[in-house]
Amino acid sequence: MIVVGGGPAGSASACFFAKRGKRVLLVDAARFPRRKACAEYISPGGAAILEHLGVLERIRDAGAGRWLRGMRIQAPSGERHLVEYADNSGGQKRYALSVSRLVLDAALLEEARARGVEVRENFRARDVWLTQRRAHGIVGPSGARLEAELVVGADGLHSIVARAMGTRQPAGWPRRLGLVAHWAGVDWPEDYGWMMVGPRDYVGVAPLDDKGLLTVGYVRRMPLKRLGSAATAMQAGLAQYPELAKRLSRGHISGPVLGGGPLARRVRQPAGAGYALVGDAAGFFDPFTGDKERLVALVQVFVQTPRLMNFVIHRLQQRPRLARELGRVLGDLQPARLDLVWRLLGP
């Protein structure tokens, strides 16, 4: 097998195939550790997968990450609701993990190596080797072909595997721009993150450790004209959230502001002759919800309609059982069911 891309989807897929006795080559254009535009918040369900893969231990050994009770969501009205997570059975609390992708992705890649996966960093796949629309392998940076039984496209939003297989589709909606930055020198006493939704945008913040390092993600509609540098656009966006801006002013941006847009991606056929797409290469909707099928589209409608968002946050305060259920869905502890939305909005 050849896996193109060593992000979480690529490394986890490589581990999966190696465990089943396959010979796996994983290539990535970057050298790790590398940053990735991401708000770096892992749901309790996601953290359980990392534990299963044996990666949590590596993260602990690196002294990185912070466990969080949940995410406090603030509606445009200012009303707030803390989304927490608990198991269905017995209601035992579950925690989300906030960890820098510098550490997470390198730990996952190390795990793949430890399982016998051959990893080549600094190796950009130029194309998929195709005959009669079937993938036979990849074309490396020098033009040399590498053969494989299956090409796994785990190469993110701009997947060359998806493009080569002709399966990408235009994703008209939502058209959003996402920017992320690390902030250093800001104490974060709360054991939860903040998600603040404004009339045209939203911002998520979470501590990455106990030493004052935060991850800040800002998402807004795609602007019609250029906004200047990513850092300028981000600072201008954050200024609309005075409580957060005041807290961030105690520290400073550390490293580059990453991101871009439009973020949404769609593919017609995630698997076919000789190829399979995983992770963002297989499609992406919006960072707020991750990928929970049709529910995400509805949550997007809430996020983009301030009055509806105000109503939902108010409802969650009034209906604790429903709020707990939503917590389990957003925490990837139970599948998303559309009727949850009707119960949230209904009388």
Ligand X SMILES: Cc1cc2nc3c(=O)[nH]c(=O)nc-3n(C[C@H](O)[C@H](O)[C@H](O)COP(=O)(O)OP(=O)(O)OC[C@H]3O[C@@H](n4cnc5c(N)ncnc54)[C@H](O)[C@@H]3O)c2cc1C
Q: Which residues of the shown chain bind ligand X in the complex (CB under 6 A)?
A: 4-10, 27-30, 36-42, 124-125, 154-156, 160, 178, 180, 217, 259, 263, 279-281, 287, 290
In whole angstroms, how far apart are CA 1 and each of 10, 24, 276, 283? 12, 5, 11, 21
Shortest Cβ 333–ligand X spacing (Å): 14
Closer by beta carbon to ligand X, 279 or else 331 = 279
Q: Which is nearer to ligand X, 76 or 283 (CB)?
A: 283
We find the least distance from the C-beta atom of residue 288 to ligand X, in angstroms, to be 9
- Pull the structure tokens for residue 327: 């917590």
- If the CB atoms of residues 279 and 327 are measured against ligand X, the closer one turns out to be 279
Nearer of residues 43 and 298 to ligand X, judged by Cβ: 43
Q: Could you tell me the smallest distance in angstroms from the CB atom of residue 37 to ligand X?
A: 5
CA-wise closest residue to 322 among 81, 97, 90, 96:
81
Comparing C-alpha atoms, which of 154, 46, 157 is closest to residue 99? Answer: 46
Distance of closest approach, residue 206 Cβ to ligand X, in angstroms: 8
**Minimum gap (Å) between residue 321 Cβ and ligand X:** 26
The contacts of residue 156 (CB under 8 Å, 6+ apart) are: 5, 7, 279, 280, 281
CB of 254 to ligand X, least distance (A): 17
Residue 52 or residue 307: which is nearer to ligand X going by CB?
52
Q: Choose between 34 and 247: whose C-beta lies nearer to ligand X.
A: 34
Is residue 109 helix, strand or coil? helix
Question: What is the identity of the amino acid at 98?
Answer: S
- Between 285 and 302, name the residue whose CB sits nearer to ligand X: 285
CA nearest to 209, candidates 72, 59, 55, 53: 59
3-state helix, strand, coil in the chain (%, to 5): 30, 30, 40
Token pair in block for residue 261: 């847009």
Closest distance of CB 345 from ligand X, Å: 26
Residue 132 Cα to chain centre, angstroms: 34
- Min dist. Cβ of residue 310 to ligand X (A): 23
d(CA 184, CA 101): 16
CA pseudo-torsion sign 308, 310, 313, 317: negative
* Closest residue by beta carbon to ligand X: 279
SS3 state at 41: strand
Pick 119 or 312: Cβ nearer ligand X: 119
The CA R_g of the chain, rounded to the nearest whole Å, is 20
Concatenate the DSSP letters of all residues of 259-274 into one string. Answer: EES---BEES-SEETT
